[in-house]
Amino acid sequence: MSPLKVLLVDDEEMFTEVLAERMETRGLVVDTIDNGKGALKLAKKRSYDAVVLDLAMPEMDGIETLKRLLRNNPNLQVILLTGQASLEKGIEAMKHGAMEFMQKPVDIDALIAKIEVAHDKREQLTELRIEETLTNIMGRKGW
């Protein structure tokens, strides 16, 4: 199995560096960016098993970034992180398609386990979409 690919989005540079390093030592491939707009650009260029996204960022917060990421790629699995967890924000994140909502400081093993689940879920969704496309093509061709 190829290494899991993760996009880590957080405006706290030191946190991002440390978390990325910890993930890389566990065999993950990690790209980092410090803002939502940059995350959107990277997610259009590259394929990720999961996006780990901070909720509170300047300019474009995590909820808005989440909405736009999923609009561009509905199969993308997003795990939101926050230092100021509130039940209301967690519910809002899940309503908009977040796979998970975790509080900082995040337990690295728990996060890695969620990323593995994200990978499996993304693969299942991709396979389902491929099957649907093939079924539609076969139906149009009368096979």
pLDDT tens per residue across span 55-101: 989 899 999 999 999 999 999 999 999 887 677 887 888 899 999 99
Residue 143 has pLDDT above 70, yes or no: no
What pTM did the predictor assign?
Answer: 0.88
> Would you state the pLDDT for residue 118?
96
Percent with pLDDT over 90 in the chain: 71
41: tokens are 């650009």
> Would you state the pLDDT for residue 132?
86
| Ordered domains of the chain (ranges, CATH) | 5-141 (3.40.50.2300)
102: tokens are 């975790």
Q: CB neighbours (10 Å) of residue 26?
A: 14
> Would you state the pLDDT for residue 142?
66
CA-CA distance, 61 to 102, in Å (whole number)?
Answer: 16
> Would you state the pLDDT for residue 82?
86
Tell me the Ramachandran region of residue 55: left when phi exceeds 0, alpha when psi lies from -120 to 50, beta otherwise.
Answer: alpha
Higher pLDDT, 36 or 133: 36
> Would you state the pLDDT for residue 99?
95
